[in-house]
């Protein structure tokens, strides 16, 4: 006999979900307590919307959907092939989840379709509410409880066959469903993700200092990237995959088949210099329907400058010099830093010229620091 739970899972897989599990809608008390503590310790600073009130809502499914009885947790793999590069200039790196279409749009459309079929399978009208990462729902806690995977020490959910290359969605429902058991697996003694994080953002197993995470710095942060962290960002211009790339579970992860998550344009490893030339209209057109649009044009160009400063290829100097005259002070500041890092005569000359006309305090301070660093380096030589 096919149970309702089996019917629901078969239906979900037919819609393209790679993993499906069912959890109870009881509060996530452990996760709520841990998250509140991180907020109080300042580890979520920089995300003003991430408040204690939101944490409590996120961990209480019955608040999100009155009458909630179960959660159907679903995952889709976004491991869709190796990066393809174009062009001969310096390239940056983009987190794999952003190589294709915006997963929020893809997942939500699929979850709505899934919910449409629940009532038919249950034989009655079913109340539902869907969540994909951007709503007040603890998606990872639900996925862990539903047996989708276990918490890695980098806080990602690790699936035994798909690794952490999965996007999570959850459907809170008033259906009374038999829950799946959580997995008994864990990361054991492995700390590769902690050791290899260049900024030291994973301050303890399962604890991330948001303020140091490259993904936060290149996506959510709207101001200047702290000067001491810029060299550690490397060539990442949107997000970061280091803690996933080094994870042993991901070495044998199977790939997904969702066409929407395949690489668009050169999004895996974009050529950097053309990105500095983009207008707002160019940015909107190029990244329409892409997660990369979250960084905003000025934020992405800030990241590009940092990447170029870390790559240190003098071929970038003319473009960076032009960026010293950019409309946004944020871009000018980081272009100055990049020129200081490259440090050739042309770069130093451009910085001295820019200092004569620059009227933004932060940009002037950056130029002065770069020139002072150059003078100190020359003195040491």
Nearest to 172 by CA among 120, 207, 137, 206: 137
Residue of 105, 133, 196, 373 with catalytic role: 133
Question: Which residues, in sequence order, are bridge partners of residue 169?
Answer: 74
Query: Using alpha carbons only, what angle is made at residue 260 by residues 256 and 263, rounded to the nearest 5 degrees?
Result: 85
Burial of residue 237 (CB within 10 Å: 0-12, 13-18, 19+) is: buried
* 31 among known catalytic residues: no
Pairing of strands 236-238, 93-94: parallel
Helices 361-380 + 329-342 axis angle, to 10: 0
SS (H, E, C) 229-290: CHHHHCCEEECCCHHHHCCHHHHHCCCCCCHHHCCCCCCCCCECHHHHHCCHHHHHHHCCCC
363: tokens are 């940009």
d(CA 174, CA 40): 33
Backbone φ and ψ for 180, nearest 5 degrees, come out as: -85, 150
So which residues are the catalytic ones? 133
């Amino acid at each position: 006999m096919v149970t309702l739970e089996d019917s629901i899972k078969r239906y979900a897989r037919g819609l393209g979900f790679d993993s499906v599990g069912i959890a109870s809608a009881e509060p996530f008390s452990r996760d709520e307590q841990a998250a509140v503590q991180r907020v109080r310790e300042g580890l979520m600073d920089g995300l003003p919307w991430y408040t204690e009130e939101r944490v409590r809502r996120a961990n209480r499914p019955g608040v999100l959907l009155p009458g909630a009885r179960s959660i159907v947790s679903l995952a889709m793999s976004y491991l869709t092939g190796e990066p393809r590069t174009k062009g001969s200039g310096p390239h940056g790196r983009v987190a794999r989840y952003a190589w294709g279409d915006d997963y929020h749009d893809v997942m939500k459309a699929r979850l709505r379709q899934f919910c449409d079929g629940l009532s038919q399978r249950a034989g009655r009208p079913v109340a539902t509410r869907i969540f994909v990462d951007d709503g007040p729902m603890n998606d990872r806690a639900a996925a862990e409880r539903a047996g989708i995977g276990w918490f890695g020490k980098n806080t990602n959910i690790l699936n035994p066959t798909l690794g952490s290359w999965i996007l999570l969605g959850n459907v809170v429902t008033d259906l009374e469903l038999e829950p799946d058991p959580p997995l008994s697996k864990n990361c054991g003694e492995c700390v590769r993700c902690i050791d290899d994080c260049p900024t030291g953002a994973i301050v303890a197993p399962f604890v991330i200092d948001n303020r140091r995470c490259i993904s936060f710095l290149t996506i959510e942060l709207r101001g200047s990237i702290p000067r001491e962290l810029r060299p550690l960002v490397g060539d990442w211009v949107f997000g970061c995959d280091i803690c996933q790339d080094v994870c042993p579970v991901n070495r044998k992860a199977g790939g997904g088949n969702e066409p929407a998550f395949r690489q668009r344009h050169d999004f895996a490893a974009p050529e950097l210099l053309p990105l500095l030339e983009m207008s707002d209209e160019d940015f909107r057109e190029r990244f329409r329907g892409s997660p990369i649009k979250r960084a905003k044009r000025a934020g992405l160009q800030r990241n590009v400058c940092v990447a170029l400063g870390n790559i240190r290829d003098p071929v970038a100097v003319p473009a960076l010099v032009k960026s010293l005259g950019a409309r946004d002070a944020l871009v000018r500041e980081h272009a100055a830093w990049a020129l200081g890092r490259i440090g050739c005569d042309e770069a130093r000359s451009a910085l001295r010229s820019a200092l004569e006309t620059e009227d933004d305090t932060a940009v002037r301070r950056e130029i002065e620091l770069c020139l002072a660093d150059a003078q100190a380096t020359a003195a040491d030589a």
